[in-house]
Chains A and B, each alone.
Chain A
Amino acid sequence: MRKVKFTQTNFHEKLSTIIEEFPRLDDIHPFYGDLLHVLYNKDHYKLALGQINTARNLISKIAKDYVKLLKYGDSLYRCKALKVAALGRMCTVTKRIGPSLAYLDQIRQHMARLPSIDPNTRTILICGYPNVGKSSFINKITRADVDVQPYAFTTKSLFVGHTDYKYLRYQVIDTPGILDRPFEDRNIIEMCSITALAHLRAAVLFFLDISGSCGYTIAQQSALFHSIKSLFMNKPLIIVCNKTDLQSLEGISEDDKNLVEEMKSEAMKTLIGQGGEPREGAEVLLTMSTLTEQGVIAVKNAACERLLDQRVEIKMKSKKINDCLNRFHVAVPKPRDQKERPPCIPQAVLEAKAKEAEKEKKRLEKDIEEENGGAGVYSASLKKHYLLAHDEWKEDNMPEILDGHNVYDFVDPDILQRLEELEKEEGLLQDQEDDEVEMDVEDLTPQQQKELAEIRKKKSLLIREHRIKKSTAESRPIVPRKFDKDKRFTSERMGRQLSSLGLDPSKAIERVRSKSRGRKRDRSTDHDMDVDNDGSNKKMRARSLSRSRSRPPTNELVPGEGFKDSAQKIKAFKLGKKSVQKRNKDAKKGVDDDHDLRRGWPVMTEVWMNVGGIKKIRVYDFESYFLFGRFHVCFILVSCYTFLNLWIFSDNYEMIFGFISQSSGVLSFSCLLFFLVKFELHKYESHFKLQARLQPNMKWALQNRRKT
């Protein structure tokens, strides 16, 4: 029940608002009423509103009935059904008035966009044929931005603009053009302007196109004038001849002039009818051109003046004026004596006023630009008004830069004078310079120069060698000179160097040779020619290349190497080098090489030998094995024998001597055995194939071991 009532009240409210908000055509100003009638048919409008009203009533009735029924509903289902029915009926009613609601909505939107015209205030109305220049006129005097186009009926509805005159605001209404047709044939647009003309109490400006460029002759226009002159009753009328830039008023033909005169006389009638003093006809007929803006202001002023006068007249005649008149009082000074005191205008002002009258319009830059082709084509010379000593200099382009200097930095009025001083100074300096500088020290002779060059070359060579040695010194083993690969320490070389120094090397070589034997192998075979200086330089240069050029520098981080950053990599390299350094110095082959050169004891070394395939057998270094074994065996044997003998023959001295001799014999025998085996060892050497690829350092170490 509540729901039904609620729905009903909603509908009622909404519909009521619609009905109330829409204006009643009889209640509003007749101008608006007529305008609305013109735009949207009055009957249609009323019908729509009426429909809505009936719908509202219907809904109320429905609601009332169903509420009554609901009161006596026996079951919930019935109540629900009743409710549904009530709502349904209300909805159907609303659906039926749907089209009129849409119509009213359209009207509402259009009405909202109608211009706000106050029918009671000062208004100027502009009318005339299409395309005579009404909209351009309104654009000129007000801030309205009405479309101005070459085709007729550009203005389709009324437009309002506001302009000021004598500190009063005037409404200016632009109407669409009117054609000369019987009243019944007029379309909506023309009816708009007719309505405005009929209802608004305004000054009327009838526009006339003298040049005929609107497409209609003066005859047609005057015919229109006569047909609507009934609408001009009681309104100040001014006939405005527009487009005088194309055709002046004097230049038109006789017939046209007559027609214009007729119109003027009609207009005069309205003037006289107004009740003012009959003035000159100039007030009624005015010429202007909206394009050149000649006479536009005059027209506006005239229209405003006429309207103002009329309104004042009317006000004066009405009763209300008495109330106003009481309020203000114009104070006039009482004349003291008969002396005339005209207002004092200074001479300058009078002269200025006179000048202004004859002053012509100044030619602006804008005009020059327009003359020469417009904005894109003509560019004004900004240097035109420069104040220079000579006028030819005005268009000069001064250079700003010369030879890497800014010219503006040098510009100086006294530059010539200073330049002269500079030149004088320069002259003096040059004279002083011409004294020769003496050379105390003489140059070296060519021979001396050659020697010096050689000295320097040798020195640089030494330095280079030293630098290379220095860099590798920490991890290079110290090899005695006997085992040098490059053969830098041969006696031949020494001899050559000494002879190049100018000494006789023969004695030195002899001495050297007598002190050393050299290696057996070296003694037997011939030496190759020593590589001379340049070659060794080349070798050293080749070796001094610490890395190949195709690889990145060693400290750079390469992604696949497993280092966190380059610092870690550097550290790793350093540690590696450090661990190898000591071993290299000791001339060791690798980590497992633990021969001890200093002590010289033979060391047991295990060597794994690959005997065909996977199997490896452990072979002891035979030399050490044998040596050790031999030594121990002998020692044990001898000691046992001596002890035995001593024990057996301890008390018999002759036997001791005999034992001693025996023991010596045994000792000698064992020594003999020892040496025999030793010398046969080299037979077994090749058999066991253990020393295939030992470095010369290693070979030397092993041989050294054997010696001690």
Chain B
Amino acid sequence: MRLEKCWFCSSTIYPGHGIQFVRNDAKIFRFCRSKCHKNFKMKRNPRKVKWTKAYRRLHGKDMTQDATFEFERKRNRPERYDRNLTENTLKAIKTIDKVRFRREETHHKNRMKGKVAKERKEARKELDQQIHMLVAPGAMVKDTFAAKVTVKVQHESTDENRMEE
């Protein structure tokens, strides 16, 4: 029994799920569910469909090259059974998984590195530029002017105020 990968979305296909399609040139396409199958029949390219692993890898959203991927490779030469080796392999699978997961996390973090700063900058800019939705520019200017002008001659300030209104 083998766990296969879906041709479209690259998720694992467990036994009892999905459909396999064999083309006339004997190439086998396996699909994990009818969603992938229908997308395939519509001749959609998985590299252009956002939610697939192919797209994510191509566009750098997910980790592409890593040493942990080298461990999992389909080997065609059968090895003679060795209990110790099997034990070690089973333990190794678990640690490799952990390592891979950690590395994926760091990859994601690196991808999102500048996001917070960028967001804050944008928020600040929006606040500066769109403040007129909350407070009319006249009112704001009036405050500033009022603060400054009150020191000067009284009647001049009142004239200015009237003009602004």
List chain A positions with a Cβ less than 8 A from chain B: 386-390, 393, 396, 398-413, 415-416, 418-419, 421-423, 425-426, 429-430, 433, 437, 439-444, 448, 451-452, 454-456, 458-459, 498, 501-504, 507-508
Contact = CB atoms under 8 A, between A and B. Distances in A.
B98 to A, nearest CB: 9
A409 B134 contact: no
A399 B120 contact: no
Contacts of A386: 81
27 contacts: A388-B80, A390-B83, A396-B83, A407-B86, A409-B73, A409-B74, A410-B92, A410-B93, A412-B75, A413-B85, A415-B88, A419-B92, A419-B96, A422-B68, A422-B96, A426-B103, A441-B116, A441-B124, A444-B120, A444-B123, A444-B127, A448-B127, A454-B133, A455-B134, A458-B133, A502-B140, A504-B165
Interface string B87-107: 011101111110100110010
Contacts of A389: 80, 82
Contacts of B140: 502
Query: Which 10 A-B residue pairings sit nearest by Cβ, starting from the closest?
Result: A502-B139, A501-B136, A441-B120, A441-B117, A502-B135, A458-B133, A503-B136, A393-B83, A409-B72, A455-B133
B80 A444 contact: no
B68 A400 contact: no
Contacts of A412: 71, 75, 89
- Size category of the B interface is 35 or more
B127 A452 contact: yes
Contacts of B131: 451, 455
B92 A409 contact: no
B97 to A, nearest CB: 6
A354 to B, nearest CB: 39
B67 A401 contact: no
A401 B121 CA distance: 49
B65 interface: no
Contacts of A433: 106
B27 interface: no
A422 B99 contact: yes
A405 B3 contact: yes
B138 interface: yes
Contact of A406 (B2, B86, B94): B2
A124 B18 CA distance: 68
B117 A444 contact: no
Contacts of A421: 67
A404 B3 contact: yes
B159 interface: no
A180 B110 CA distance: 107
Contacts of A439: 116-117
Contacts of A402: 90, 93
Interface string B127-145: 1001101111011100000
B12 interface: yes
B82 A498 contact: no
B126 A455 contact: yes
B75 A411 contact: yes
Contacts of B134: 451, 454-455, 458, 501
Given A405-B93, A411-B85, A415-B92, A440 B135 contact: no
B100 to A, nearest CB: 10
B26 interface: no
A465 to B, nearest CB: 14
Contacts of A418: 71
A452 B97 contact: no
B12 A404 contact: yes
A413 to B, nearest CB: 7
B147 interface: no
B84 to A, nearest CB: 9
Contact of A451 (B68, B102, B127): B127
B2 A502 contact: no
A439 B119 CA distance: 12
A416 B88 contact: yes
Contacts of A430: 102
Contact of B85 (A399, A404, A415, A441): A415
A403 B99 CA distance: 14
A421 B92 CA distance: 12
A498 B73 CA distance: 70
Nearest to A409: B72
A458 B130 CA distance: 10
A71 to B, nearest CB: 86
A430 to B, nearest CB: 8
A425 B66 CA distance: 11
B25 interface: no
Contact of B1 (A401, A409, A455): A401
B148 interface: no
Contacts of B99: 422-423, 426
B118 to A, nearest CB: 8
B90 A399 contact: yes
A419 B95 contact: yes
A390 B81 CA distance: 10
Nearest to B78: A408
B23 interface: no
A409 B85 contact: no
Given A455-B126, A498-B136, A502-B140, A443 B93 contact: no
Among B2, B81, B165, find the residue whose CB has the most chain A CB atoms closer than 10 A: B81
A440 B103 CA distance: 26
Nearest to A396: B83
A289 B136 CA distance: 121
Given A455-B130, A458-B134, 11 more contacts: A386-B81, A400-B2, A402-B90, A407-B93, A409-B75, A422-B67, A437-B113, A441-B120, A501-B135, A502-B140, A503-B165
B79 interface: yes
Contacts of B165: 503-504, 507-508
B1 A400 contact: yes
Contacts of A425: 67
A511 to B, nearest CB: 10
Contact of B79 (A390, A411, A440, A441): A411
A410 B70 CA distance: 9
A416 B67 contact: no
A442 B120 contact: yes
A405 B72 contact: yes
